[in-house]
Amino acid sequence: MKTSLRKQEIINKSEILFKEKGYSAVTMRDIATVMGMKAASLYNHIKSKQEILSDIILSLAEDFTSGMEVIVSSDKTTVEKLQDVISLHVQITTDHPSGMASLNADWMHLEEKLDYYLELRDAYEENFRQLISSGIKNKEIAVVNPEVVVFSILSTLRSLYLWIPKKDDFNLKELDADLSKVLLGGVII
Any bridge partners for residue 188, and if so which?
A: 141
User: What's residue 165's pLDDT?
Assistant: 65
Q: Among 158, 147, 150, 145, which residue's Cα sits nearest to residue 184?
A: 150
pLDDT digits (tens, 9 = 90+) for 104-138: 999 999 999 999 999 999 999 999 999 999 999 99
* Radius of gyration of the CA atoms of the chain, in A: 18
pTM: 0.89
Neighbour-count burial for 119-149, b at 16+ CB within 10 Å, e otherwise: ebbeebeebbeebbebbbeeebbeeeebeeb
User: What's residue 1's pLDDT?
Assistant: 44
Give how far the C-alpha of residue 138 lies from the chain's centroid of Cα atoms, to the nearest Å.
29
Distance, CA of 72 to CA of 20 (rounded, Å): 35
**With DSSP H G I counted as helix, E B as strand and the rest as coil, what are the percentages for the chain, rounded to 5?**
80, 0, 20
3-state secondary structure 126-141: HHHHHHHHHHHHCCCE
User: What's residue 168's pLDDT?
Assistant: 67
Distance, CA of 71 to CA of 27 (rounded, Å): 39
User: What's residue 3's pLDDT?
Assistant: 57
User: What's residue 85's pLDDT?
Assistant: 97
Q: Among 172, 176, 57, 28, which residue's Cα sits nearest to residue 121?
A: 57
User: What's residue 185's pLDDT?
Assistant: 86
Ranges of residues in the chain whose predicted pLDDT is under 50:
1-2
**What structural domains does the chain harbor?**
49-184 (1.10.357.10)
User: What's residue 170's pLDDT?
Assistant: 73
Q: What is the dihedral of CA 78, 79, 84, 87, to 10 degrees?
A: 150
